[in-house]
Amino acid sequence: MKISGWGRFPDIDATILSTDSYEAIAKQIADGPLIGRGLGRSYGDSSLANQVIDSTRLDHLISFDRNSGLLRCQAGVTLDSLLKIIVPAGWFLPVTPGTARITIGGAIASDVHGKNHHVAGCFSQFVRSISIATVSEGIIECSPQQHEALFRATCGGMGLTGLVLEAEIQLIKINSAMINETVIKTRNLDHSLETFAERADTTYSVAWIDCLAGGRSLGRSVIMLGEHSDHGPLDAGDISPITVPVDFPGFVLNPTTTGLFNKLYYARAPGREVTRQQHYRPYFYPLDKLHQWNRIYGKNGFAQYQFVIPIAAGLPVLRELLSRIRDSRQASFLAVLKAFGKANDNPLSFPIEGYTLALDFKINQQLPDLLQRLDEQVIDAGGRISLTKDAFLSENSFKRMYPDWEKFCEVRKAYGADRCFHSLQSERLGL
């Protein structure tokens, strides 16, 4: 069947191997080459190959200790289905991305980050152990104590070390499903970064930047801070069933319509700082309200570009990148700005201490050239881009952004993964 990532570019014909049997998976791995896939929410080509193992049938909860919050489940379990079990019991995901429609295997392979990276780190920092199907050792358990190099390479390793079958995760305690959200409107990028620095000990923070505003308003944004509330029910909530029914025609999204949307979004936010209570679903997963929202970008698809700039390079580089993106008149909607804390020891995990910006571009002929120029600027500043969003990065740029790539390849070789696990992305990046 035809498959793609969330950006719908590229799309390819692939054979999908779907099973819930570990024996069948081991056999398929022996026959390789292939790549694992969850719900296909990575934007680019990291879960694309001619043969794909779909892990969504590995959807069982194995154990859940309601006293300690230690949970073990299979890799195809989705965050959404976990939340329905853990929230009513007073537990929450320690790190969550901006959608609940991903699998645990995908969360580990991309070592996802959330709005709390500056205080909590990545998803893998709460993974106590992983059961993984490897080429040379069969099914083994890896953790920070056992097969440590394999554990570190698997977390953030984009499915290239083996197929994750099960994981044990430490959850965090909550008293309510509600979030106390504080909204702050900022005048420009300097003001946004100052606000992040002043509120650095807030658990969750994210800014929606109007990336089409220029001049003295460049980087103006709406910042949303959040803390788990102690008041309100432990209600897990649900994903809304509203679906975008068709691909939007290409002309609908243009600099005028997106500029208008951004202006309205900024204007709608309250002028002074306000704190309100809201359910965790709209706070963490605003885009999950609209099923298949990726159709808004039309049938040619889109790319998400997410980069991180070290704190030391900070403001001037961010300002320059934002101006270049704005001048290209190619960016759509709002960009998402977050602060990252310290990097972890995984060779391919994306976050390093600094500021990260993510924004969407409709696919067109000029895009590869623009992204390549942005990549150069990011590299010069000591930054990198997120592999789980990427569809365009060159091998040369990748290797300059991720200096531990050789360490990663050694682990791949040691467990025979280089003989089996390949994606379009891994071929492009020379892995």
Ligand X SMILES: Cc1cc2nc3c(=O)[nH]c(=O)nc-3n(C[C@H](O)[C@H](O)[C@H](O)COP(=O)(O)OP(=O)(O)OC[C@H]3O[C@@H](n4cnc5c(N)ncnc54)[C@H](O)[C@@H]3O)c2cc1C
Interaction site with ligand X (CB under 6 A): 6, 35-42, 46-47, 55, 75, 97-99, 102-103, 105-106, 109-110, 112-114, 158-159, 163-164, 287, 388, 423
CB of 316 to ligand X, least distance (A): 26
CB of 6 to ligand X, least distance (A): 4
Q: How far is CA 188 from CA 202, 268, 270, 324, in A?
A: 21, 17, 16, 16
276 burial (CB, 10 Å; 0-12 / 13-18 / 19+) is: exposed
Structure tokens that stand for 216 in this block:
């003295």
In the complex, least distance from residue 264 CB atom to ligand X, rounded to whole angstroms: 21
- CB closer to ligand X, 153 vs 171: 153
How many Å apart are CA 300 and CA 3, to the nearest integer?
Answer: 14
Could you tell me the smallest distance in angstroms from the CB atom of residue 125 to ligand X? 13
Q: Which is nearer to ligand X, 5 or 69 (CB)?
A: 5
* Shortest distance, position 44 Cβ to ligand X, whole Å: 9
Which residue number, 64 or 302, has a Cβ lying nearer to ligand X? Answer: 302
Q: How distant, in Å, are the alpha carbons of 309, 314, 376, 397 from that of 401?
A: 11, 17, 10, 6
Nearest one of 261, 239, 283 to 360, comparing CA atoms: 261
Contact 142, 132 (CB under 8 A): yes
Question: What percent of the chain is helix, strand and coil (3-state, nearest 5)?
Answer: 30, 25, 40
| Residue spans of beta strands (DSSP E) within 195-321 | 204-209, 221-228, 274-279, 302-310
The letter for the amino acid at 45 is D
Closer by beta carbon to ligand X, 188 or else 298: 298
Nearer to ligand X, 136 or 366 (CB): 136
Q: Can you say whether the dihedral through the CA atoms of 335, 121, 74, 17 is positive or negative?
A: positive
The C-alpha angle 108, 398, 105, rounded to 5 degrees, equals: 10
Q: Which helix (H) or strand (E) holds 79?
A: helix 79-86
Closer CB to ligand X, 62 or 287, in the complex: 287
Residue 6 or 91: the one with the smaller Cβ distance to ligand X is 6
- The torsion angles phi and psi of 257, rounded to 5 degrees, stand at -70, -40
Nearer to ligand X, 36 or 69 (CB): 36
As measured in angstroms, the least distance from the Cβ of 211 to ligand X is: 17
Assigned token pair, 308? 């991180």
Q: How far is the CB of 38 from ligand X (least distance, A)?
A: 2
CB of 11 to ligand X, least distance (A): 14
CA–CA gap between residue 339 and residue 149 (Å, rounded): 27
Shortest Cβ distance from residue 297 to ligand X (Å)?
A: 12
Q: Which is nearer to ligand X, 29 or 374 (CB)?
A: 29
Q: Least distance in Å: CB of 386 to ligand X?
A: 7
Using CA atoms, how far apart are residues 41 and 107, in angstroms rounded to an integer? 10
Residue with smaller CB distance to ligand X, 139 or 234 = 139
Do residues 164 and 131 touch, judged by C-beta distance below 8 A? yes
